[in-house]
Amino acid sequence: MKFHIDISSKVLKSMSYKRNTCSIGNHTYLDGIEQYKPGIKRLQASEAEIKALSVNYAAILKEKEGCLVLHKIGPADGPLGQTLIITCTGREGITRSISISVMIYIIIRAPFSNAYPIFAQQGYENPREATGRIVCANCHLANKPVDIEVPQAVLPDTVFEAVVRIPYDMQVKQVLANGKKGTLNVGAVLILPEGFELAPPDRISPEIKEKIGNLSFQNYRPTKKNILVVGPVPGQKYNEITLFLCPFTFMPKLILAKR
């Protein structure tokens, strides 16, 4: 009994020698709470940045695996974007509606997100879900108003201009891959009726080229020329995006064939 008391006394003395340590055999262990305090403080200081990175990373991985993930971060009501319906009447009295869906999105510029929009293009045959939402919104989370300027009516095989303005707060920042804050990126997905497409290069005048600048456009898929993808591009430089479209380029051939 006395031997047991002596051992206990030694252990107590060892523990009281340093308040946050405990000696067991030849090993000394830090108290669990003290050990993680520096890490906890760092996490608390950058909670928002870490949350944004983790949400974006998880969403992209899920989309890459072919899983549809709906993140309810931010307002729960309404799609992430805006849709504008424009009626265009052709020479033969044919009326079509242009459904232009534009969204502004925040891209967390981590290495795995630089491949945008490959994930969406490979994972979805059509960028518009049955609910009307654009699939890009599964990863890029935002809900901002946009302004779109288009002509009220256009004739077949006529180049016309569509101007998309994204009036967001230029002071808003996003978290970059290095953990620092940077400016937002913006982009757009335009879904047009069959027969509407980007104006061909030989129809682009020098004035139009100057207006477009270095901005590039791509088809969502080679077989879907009526679905265009723009961006991601720096929002401060391209908060106004101008596209030059050409509707019904095949109509004259069809009319001649019928006659």
Q: Which residues of the chain carry a pLDDT beneath 50?
A: 1-30, 61, 63-115, 250-259
In 3D space, the residue among 252, 199, 253 whose CA is nearest the CA of residue 225 turns out to be 199
Instruction: Give me the pLDDT at residue 20, please.
Output: 44
Q: Is 136 annotated as a binding residue?
A: yes
- Please tell me the total number of residues recorded for the chain in this structure: 259
User: Start-end ranges of CATH 2.60.40.830 in the chain?
Assistant: 47-258
Q: Is 139 annotated as a binding residue?
A: yes
CB of 201 closer than 8 Å to CB of 233: no
Q: What is the mean pLDDT of the chain?
A: 62
- Rounded-to-integer distance, Cα 20 and Cα 142, Å: 46
Instruction: Give me the pLDDT at residue 177, please.
Output: 78
Instruction: Please identify, in words, the CATH class of the domain defined by 47-258.
Output: mainly beta
Instruction: Give me the pLDDT at residue 188, please.
Output: 77
pTM of the model: 0.49
Q: Is 116 annotated as a binding residue?
A: yes
